Chains A and B, each alone.
Chain A
Amino acid sequence: MAVAAGAAPRRAPGGGWRHRLRRATPYLLLAPGILWLLIFFIVPSIQMFLTSVSTGSIDNGFKLTFSSKAYETAFTKFPRQLTNSLVYGGIATVLTFLIGFPVAYTIAFRGGRYKNILLFLVIAPFFTSFLIRTISWKILLNDTGPVLGPLKDLHLVAPDFGLLFTPLAVVAGITYNFLPFMILPLYVALEKIDPRLIEAANDLYASHWGAFRRVTFPLALPGVFAGSILTFIPALGDWVNAELLGNTQTKMIGNVIQDRFISQGDYPTAAALSFILMAGILVTVSLYGRFLGTEQLTG
């Protein structure tokens, strides 16, 4: 604003095309990218909603009938997958917080000269493909793999005990894959805290725990909010962990959407499920924001 408004009168007195061009500059800068988002994000979202209230098949085409049949199918046929998504996504988010907070706290306040290297190690998983990491968990957790193999040889676990293809493996995989998304925002929030505030609390006879509970943690809340959203949203929509590490009972909503679109050609149901997922996320995020009192931070 400063240059556009401040420099304009000096450099371009009066009206004319130069002045008009200057007024149009922000819109010209915005136009290509915003058009791209409108055409390839907003229009598809509308089209998906219309598909969810259509009937028909991929072969005969879809007719817009404003029927709620797809939503009925979604809720009556896939309650298990909807629940799985919420439960696994929720547990994984809580777990990433429980693991991530102490880690972020340690890096921020006790990292010292190891701070940068620790941060680097936290984001190191991003240097490999998401799929390959998940396949690595398959290698790790399979019945004769590096974890269970030795335990079975020592007869510490039953020979038919398995970790792979269980809900536990799915939650562990999701927790693993999204843990850096939790640690980084928590670290950023904790790192910003002025240590003198904590010293002041201690000088005023707050115990270490008291200072943490009443000074450090409240100041870290924006990071908690950002971290849980960055973890919960992709966790809720993920289907790769459930597909590679789980069984037929652990399928999540993403598995169904994927399958309905690609294999079944059942677009209305898949679109309805996508819409339910999106609505679920918007409701959860806004309730959560209100609960933490951090709405102003998202705007």
Chain B
Amino acid sequence: MTATTTTLERPAIATRAPRRPGRAIAHYALPAFTFVAVCYLLLPIAVMIVFSFNDYQGKFNFAWHGFTLNGWLHPFDWQGLPQAIRTSLFIAVVSTIAATILGTLIGLALTRYQFRGRGAINGLIFLPMATPEIVMGASLLTLFVASATQPPFNSIVPRGWLYPLGVQTILIAHIMFNISYVVVTVKARLAGFDRRLEEAAMDLGANEWSTFWRVTFPLILPGIVAAALLAFSLSIDDFIITNLVSGATTNTFPIWVYGIQKNALPVQINVIGSIVFLGAVAFVAISNIISARRR
């Protein structure tokens, strides 16, 4: 939050209303354009929320037929939906915890130690972020299938671990693609870290272990929390990779939505989407208020 306040205090340039008419157009054109662009970004969200109150006819929630609270009174009332939400939450929580731990350790190693192979490690972290999801999902699928059918994998991997596909293969994939994002986020926080704080703690007689837990960790915790939130949201919304590695019987919420929208478009999709959206907005608003109070 401190970073944003300093930027806010910076004088904005060219905010005076200009005198010449040509300048005036340029002066108002940019804010007007930005307004239109933001509307474009928010339009589908508005549609999602408005249509969560639609008393739609037939199978598809496409055309407006009048206001109802039915969807909001029965938000989970569709076959497979509660189970899909539970699966999504479970996978998001477990993969977030695992990826945050693994990624933070890598971030620590990369920022505070000198070692051979740093370039290769950085490359390995960067690659998954530069690879399209479909390619990552596809290659994991070939590995999982090979683990059951092809040497050498079928002799190394115990039967049933990676194939048939299921919750465990989705978890593997989500941890994998989340590690890089955690490393990048934690590294950004560690980059501005004042090492003299640790030296001071050591000079005052703290050993490395207590220095880490009582000085270093509390200072980098905001970065770790940010990384975990990012990992959670990436995991819970992932569709393209999950679709390839989930198998036929395991549904996460996005997989369930994709499966059902071919034959019907229940209002519950809009209701759950709206709950998640409004919940996230409330979370951001509350955390902003809390951090503003602390200052």
The reply to whether the CB of A225 lies closer than 8 angstroms to some CB of chain B is no
Name the residue in B61, B132, B146, B281 with the highest tally of chain A Cβ atoms < 10 Å from its Cβ: B132
The reply to whether the CB of A224 lies closer than 8 angstroms to some CB of chain B is no
What mask results when residues 118 to 145 of chain B are scored 1 for a CB within 8 Å of chain A, else 0? Answer: 0001101111101111111011111101
Determine whether the beta carbon of B12 is less than 8 Å from that of A110: yes
Closest to B38 in A: A121
**Which of B7, B31, B106, B109 meets A115, CB within 8 Å?**
B7
A129-B273, A229-B130 given as contacts; is B44 within 8 A of A109 (CB)?
Answer: no
**Interface residues of B: mostly helix, strand, loop or mixed?**
helix
Q: How far is the CB of B71 from chain A (nearest CB, A)?
A: 13
The bracket for how many chain A residues form the interface is 35 or more
Determine whether the beta carbon of B150 is less than 8 Å from that of A62: yes
| Complex Cα–Cα for A113 and B42 (A) | 21
What mask results when residues 237 to 262 of chain B are scored 1 for a CB within 8 Å of chain A, else 0? Answer: 10110011000000001100110010
Closest to A149 in B: B63
| Complex Cα–Cα for A133 and B51 (A) | 12
Determine whether the beta carbon of B142 is less than 8 Å from that of A51: yes
The reply to whether the CB of B200 lies closer than 8 angstroms to some CB of chain A is no
Closest to B284 in A: A120
Determine whether the beta carbon of B37 is less than 8 Å from that of A99: yes
Please name all residues of chain A whose beta carbon is closer than 8 Å to the beta carbon of B134 when the two chains form the complex.
Answer: 237-239, 254, 257-258, 274, 277
Closest to A134 in B: B44
The reply to whether the CB of B173 lies closer than 8 angstroms to some CB of chain A is yes
Determine whether the beta carbon of B42 is less than 8 Å from that of A124: yes
Please name all residues of chain B whose beta carbon is closer than 8 Å to the beta carbon of A47 when the two chains form the complex.
Answer: 139, 142-143, 146, 153
Determine whether the beta carbon of A112 is less than 8 Å from that of B15: yes
The reply to whether the CB of B217 lies closer than 8 angstroms to some CB of chain A is no
| Complex Cα–Cα for A129 and B143 (A) | 28
**Which of B113, B179, B276 meets A4, CB within 8 Å?**
B113
Determine whether the beta carbon of B139 is less than 8 Å from that of A37: no
Number of chain B residues whose Cβ lies closer than 8 Å to a Cβ of chain A? 98
| Complex Cα–Cα for A132 and B175 (A) | 24
The reply to whether the CB of B219 lies closer than 8 angstroms to some CB of chain A is no
Closest to B146 in A: A47
Determine whether the beta carbon of A3 is less than 8 Å from that of B106: no
Determine whether the beta carbon of B138 is less than 8 Å from that of A48: yes
Please name all residues of chain B whose beta carbon is closer than 8 Å to the beta carbon of A17 when the two chains form the complex.
Answer: none
| Complex Cα–Cα for A127 and B281 (A) | 8
Determine whether the beta carbon of A237 is less than 8 Å from that of B34: no
| Complex Cα–Cα for A11 and B103 (A) | 28
| Complex Cα–Cα for A82 and B242 (A) | 23
Determine whether the beta carbon of B34 is less than 8 Å from that of A102: yes
- Which A residues fall within an 8 A CB radius of B? 1-5, 7, 11, 25-27, 29-30, 32-34, 36-38, 40-45, 47-48, 51, 58, 61-62, 99-100, 102-103, 105-107, 109-113, 115-116, 118, 120-122, 124-133, 135-140, 142, 144-146, 149, 176, 179-180, 191, 195, 198-199, 208, 229, 233-234, 236-240, 244, 254, 257-258, 261-262, 267, 270-271, 274, 277-278, 281, 285, 298-299
In the A-B complex, the 9 residue pairs with the smallest Cβ-Cβ separation, listed nearest first, are A237-B132, A136-B44, A26-B113, A33-B102, A44-B139, A29-B109, A48-B139, A1-B114, A127-B280
